[in-house]
Each structure stands twice: as structure tokens, then as C-alpha cells.
């Protein structure tokens, strides 16, 4: 068995890191690199790409609403055409910097409020998928399985990477619980590691209301800015290895 382990990295705010990138890169197989719209800048993108090359980690573009004020976690009303152009702008910026580091964009993962919006919003999901296809036909798109963006990816000929979150709680309908809800962000290292193994071996996760959900998983996510993320990623790797699961990049 195998699974990808991804993490949101390069998310500097005013030049200050929100995660211990240097400690996390050796633990993961794919890095979602902030492209400047919610966090990050040219320096952090280059540093992330250099670390990715050093550790053999796939580079993903972590595209967002243009929302540095709220770290990309406010749901904004943006015209689909504007959103598509914003996505292409972010991909172009990261691709140019990645090339300098000897890397390239291997996939695209939307961030925060945009990620959650395209789970159910057809127009915005189509805008994101069409932008990715415009930038690079066939570039994989990562998101929540069974969502509107998965359908949009298929429409535009993009491979789709199904993601599950080891440190975030789920609602009964399979969507993520809003961060403001009690219990929405998990902090127990042991619980997170156990969930990761069950997600891969059983294809299940228990929602906040107790509902047992079925999952199809290509990639597991540990958020870099979650407190204790290094310890979480370390224990997830240990638990996956103990279960006979290899951690390898999906693309």
C-alpha cells in the first residue's frame, strides 16, 4: 500500500514563517507552496522549491483567493473570470520561481476558503479547473473526493488527486467542519496518526456527529500551521510505516 503525504508550506506572513518548513520537508512527499495571494512571497517560494528539490518532494501550487488580510480563509465573491485569471497569475509566478530551483509544478491544490467553496460551487470549481487547464493541460488538481471540483477537473481533462485531512474534523456530509467549530482542528498526535492509518487501510473516518464516512484517498494532508505539526507528521510517518504503507508522491 502507498499514499502521498502533503503539507501546506511556504506560508510566510510579512516574511515570518507560520510553520517549521525545514523540519517538515523531510517528512512529506508533496508540498503545497503558497503562491503569494494568501501568504508567501518570491523569497519563500524559492526557499520552498529549493527544499523540495533537496528532499525529493513534489511541488504543488497552493492557489488562493487574493486575501492576505485573512490568510485566504474568508469566502470572497469573485467573478469566475477574475478567479480564473488570479489562478493563472499564481501558477505563472510559482512556475517561474520553481524553474530557478530546478523544480516544476506537479499539481495544484486550492487553499482555505477557495478549497471549501469549490466543493459545492459549480461555477467557481469550473473557473479553477479551466484556469489550470489553460496554464498546463493535464496538470493534476487536488481536492475533496466527490466534490464539484472533481467533476470540473474531469470536464477539463485534468487528473484528480483525492485528498483527506488527518488533522481536521469532517461533517456528516463529507465536507470539512468550519475551523470556528469546537473540535474542528485536531491536536492529539496519537489520534491524528490513527486516523491516517484508518483512512488508507479502511477508507473511513468518523465525522463530528459520529457518522462513519467512506473515503477514497490518494493524498493525506497535515497542515503546516497546525500547532505541533512536526510531531504530527513524524508520528503519521511512523504509524504508516508500521502498517506497511509507503509514503510516496502521488505525482
pLDDT tens profile 200-222? 999 999 999 999 999 999 999 99
**Alpha-carbon span 48 to 80, nearest angstrom:** 29
**Alpha-carbon span 207 to 10, nearest angstrom:** 30
Residue 130's closest CA among 150, 152, 146?
152
Q: Could you tell me the pTM of the whole model?
A: 0.96
**Alpha-carbon span 75 to 70, nearest angstrom:** 10
Region 103-107: what's the mean pLDDT?
Answer: 98
Q: Which three cell numbers stand for residue 176?
A: 470539512
Q: Given a cut of 90, is residue 10 above it in pLDDT?
A: yes
Tell me the DSSP string of the chain: -EEEEEEEE---BTTB-SS-HHHHGGG-SEEEEE-SSSS--HHHHHHHHHHHHHHTPEEEEE---S-TTTTT-S-----HHHHHHHHHHHHHHHHHHHHHTT--EEEE---HHHHHHTTT-HHHHHHHHHHHHHHSTT--EEEETTSHHHHHHHHTT--EEEEEESSB-B-TTSSBPPTTSTTSB---HHHHHHHHHHHHHT-EEE-TTSPEEE---SEEEE-TTSTTHHHHHHHHHHHHHHTT-EE----
pLDDT in tens, 18-52: 999 999 999 999 999 999 999 999 999 999 999 99
Q: Given a cut of 90, is residue 61 above it in pLDDT?
A: yes
Helix axes 122-135, 148-155, angle to 10 degrees: 40
pLDDT in tens, 125-175: 999 999 999 999 999 999 998 899 999 999 999 999 999 999 999 999 999
Percent of the chain with pLDDT over 90: 98
Q: What is the tally of structural domains in the chain?
A: 1
Where in the sequence is the domain holding 33, given as residue range(s)?
2-247
The mean pLDDT of the chain is: 97
- CATH number of the structural domain spanning residue 207: 3.20.20.370
The CA-based dihedral angle spanning residues 45, 48, 50, 55, taken in that order and rounded to the nearest 10 degrees = -160
Distance separating the N- and C-terminal Cα atoms of the chain: 16
**Alpha-carbon span 126 to 149, nearest angstrom:** 7
pLDDT band at 227 (very low <50, low <70, confident <90, very high): confident
- Residue 171's pLDDT is 95
- Residue 9's pLDDT is 98
Amino acid at each position: 500500500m502507498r499514499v502521498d503525504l502533503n503539507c501546506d508550506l511556504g506560508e510566510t506572513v510579512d516574511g515570518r514563517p507560520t510553520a517549521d518548513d525545514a523540519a517538515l520537508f523531510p517528512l512529506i512527499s508533496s508540498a503545497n507552496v503558497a503562491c503569494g495571494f494568501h501568504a508567501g512571497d518570491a523569497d519563500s517560494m524559492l526557499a520552498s522549491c529549493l527544499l523540495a528539490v533537496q528532499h525529493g518532494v513534489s511541488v504543488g501550487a497552493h492557489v488562493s483567493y487574493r486575501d492576505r488580510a485573512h490568510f485566504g480563509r474568508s469566502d470572497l465573491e469573485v467573478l469566475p473570470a477574475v478567479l480564473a485569471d488570479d489562478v493563472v497569475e499564481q501558477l505563472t509566478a510559482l512556475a517561474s520561481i520553481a524553474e530557478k530551483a530546478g523544480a516544476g509544478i506537479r499539481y495544484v491544490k486550492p487553499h482555505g476558503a477557495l478549497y471549501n467553496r469549490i466543493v459545492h460551487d459549480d461555477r467557481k470549481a469550473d473557473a479553477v479547473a479551466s484556469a489550470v487547464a489553460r496554464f498546463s493541460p493535464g496538470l493534476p488538481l487536488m481536492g475533496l473526493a466527490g466534490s464539484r471540483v472533481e467533476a470540473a477537473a474531469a470536464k477539463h481533462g485534468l487528473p484528480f488527486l483525492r485528498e483527506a485531512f488527518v488533522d481536521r474534523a469532517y461533517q456528516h456530509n463529507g465536507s470539512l467542519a468550519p475551523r470556528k467549530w469546537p473540535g474542528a482542528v485536531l491536536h492529539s498526535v496519537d489520534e491524528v496518526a490513527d486516523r491516517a492509518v484508518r483512512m488508507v487501510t479502511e477508507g473511513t473516518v468518523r465525522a463530528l456527529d459520529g457518522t462513519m464516512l467512506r473515503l477514497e484517498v490518494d493524498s493525506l494532508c497535515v497542515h503546516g500551521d497546525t500547532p505541533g505539526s512536526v510531531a504530527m507528521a513524524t508520528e503519521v510517518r511512523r504509524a504508516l510505516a508500521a502498517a506497511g504503507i509507503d509514503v510516496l508522491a502521488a505525482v
